[in-house]
Amino acid sequence: MRKKSRYIAAFMILMILLGAALAANVCIGSVSVPVSQVWDILMGEQADEVYRNIVMQIRLPRALGGAAMGGALALSGYLLQTFFHNPIASPFTLGISSGAKMVVALAMVAALGSSLQVSSWGLIAAAFAGAMICMGFVILMSRFVEQMSMLIVSGVMIGYICSAVTDFVVTFADDSDIVNLHNWSMGSFSGITWDNVAVIWIVIFTASVCVFLMSKPISAYQMGEAYAKNMGLNIPLFRVLLVLLSSILSACVAAFAGPVSFVGIAVPHLTKRLFGTAKPILMIPACFLGGASFCLGCDLLARSLFAPTELSISTVTAVFGAPVVIVIMLKGKRERTES
């Protein structure tokens, strides 16, 4: 019973955080919009046109998109950690984000060259292809390297290679779109349109519901493959689903926001601490909520700290996320030496 009230309290905290982050993201910025005005705008009442434009055209889509993508990143990280039984696996450390980014950059530059517009779905498809390429490579590596730390090292290296290719492409891409492309390739939630938001939510929401439906098999998988198999889990099918879902989630983020580091590691870890359990049925919704609030908070800092200059989102997430990774590694080492 004590556990149950802890879970409820933890969910309340996450909901409040998310609500506060959403409100703050809509209200705060180079022009602050009073909360009462925001309310009026959302309710469709009479309001200042300037405010209406800022809220409806810029801040609200950005906040909604950012929230979904933050949730997706955290969830994707959680799935990869489960899959590889490694607490510091994430779309970023395994190079999956960078792979997605590379293919998206190539697609964009190709489209610019032939002056075509890439649709939201096209972006996601490109990112998914890139994510799958890197994922395939990492899984292949995991068959050869025994040590989990080596897997992460190889993932980081793949990430660097993909980033190098992306930089190369971006540097030599011509004309004015280069500014946009440059922003995106550094990681940013800016410039998200309502059209993007709709696609982002459809994809991420569907994938997340699928993940939630898999919470029972995930709990079996946490006991290790041999026992999971004995419990009646179809391991090959399960692994394929896990890989697909985590790739879709991280690809969707990479397509619209570029690389966002550390959310995938830090948020699942902090959420587990908050709940005091790793049960998938709780962790899946909790990671999503946590990731959404974490990313909104970081985005707020990214665009308001040195306004009007905007920091890349990764700069801020790294400041908060990297220390968490260090703590996890130190703790892991201590536990290994104990046993």
Instruction: State the Cα–Cα distance between residues 320 and 117, nearest whole angstrom.
Output: 36
CA distances from 156 to 101, 128, 280 (A): 14, 19, 27
Indicate the SS3 state at residue 256.
helix
Contact 253, 74 (CB under 8 A): no
Residue number, 85 or 305, with CB nearest to other proteins: 85
Residues 77-96 binding other proteins (CB under 8 A) are: 85, 87
Site membership for other proteins, residue 62 (CB under 8 A): no
Please state the closest distance from residue 219 (CB atom) to other proteins, in A: 6
Q: Which residues contact 127 (CB under 8 A, 6 or more apart)?
A: 100, 101, 103, 104, 251, 252, 254, 255
52: exposed, middle or buried (C-beta count within 10 Å: 0-12, 13-18, 19+)? middle
Site membership for other proteins, residue 334 (CB under 8 A): no
Residue number, 191 or 332, with CB nearest to other proteins: 332
Please state the closest distance from residue 273 (CB atom) to other proteins, in A: 9
Instruction: State the Cα–Cα distance between residues 52 and 196, nearest whole angstrom.
Output: 19
The structure tokens 């890989």 sit at 243
Instruction: State the Cα–Cα distance between residues 134 and 314, nearest whole angstrom.
Output: 20
Cα 223 to chain centroid distance, Å, stands at: 26
Q: Which of 190, 222, 304, 315 binds other proteins (CB under 8 A)?
A: 222
Q: Which of 6, 52, 182, 229 binds other proteins (CB under 8 A)?
A: 229
Q: Which of 19, 227, 327, 334 binds other proteins (CB under 8 A)?
A: 227
Site membership for other proteins, residue 231 (CB under 8 A): yes
Site membership for other proteins, residue 7 (CB under 8 A): no
- Binding-site size for other proteins (CB under 8 A) equals 25
Site membership for other proteins, residue 209 (CB under 8 A): no
Q: Which residues contact 70 (CB under 8 A, 6 or more apart)?
A: 263, 267, 291, 292, 293, 294, 295, 296
Where does this chain touch other proteins (CB under 8 A) — which range of 31-39, 52-60, 153-161, 230-238?
230-238
Q: Which of 75, 200, 220, 324 binds other proteins (CB under 8 A)?
A: 220
Instruction: State the Cα–Cα distance between residues 112 and 176, nearest whole angstrom.
Output: 10
Q: Which residues contact 28 (CB under 8 A, 6 or more apart)?
A: 300, 304
Site membership for other proteins, residue 327 (CB under 8 A): no
The structure tokens 């994809």 sit at 203
Please state the closest distance from residue 17 (CB atom) to other proteins, in A: 21
Contact 83, 89 (CB under 8 A): yes
Residue number, 145 or 231, with CB nearest to other proteins: 231
Where does this chain touch other proteins (CB under 8 A) — which range of 6-14, 22-30, 153-161, 227-235?
227-235
Please state the closest distance from residue 253 (CB atom) to other proteins, in A: 25
Site membership for other proteins, residue 330 (CB under 8 A): no
Where does this chain touch other proteins (CB under 8 A) — which range of 158-166, 175-183, 223-231, 251-259?
223-231
Residue number, 18 or 220, with CB nearest to other proteins: 220
Contact 90, 250 (CB under 8 A): no
Q: Which of 59, 62, 101, 272 binds other proteins (CB under 8 A)?
A: 272
Where does this chain touch other proteins (CB under 8 A) — which range of 36-44, 116-124, 218-226, 242-250?
218-226
Site membership for other proteins, residue 19 (CB under 8 A): no
Q: Which sign does the torsion angle of CA 218, 87, 146, 163 carry?
A: positive
**Residues lying near other proteins in the complex (CB under 8 A):** 85, 87, 213, 215-216, 219-220, 222-224, 226-227, 229-234, 272, 276-279, 281, 335
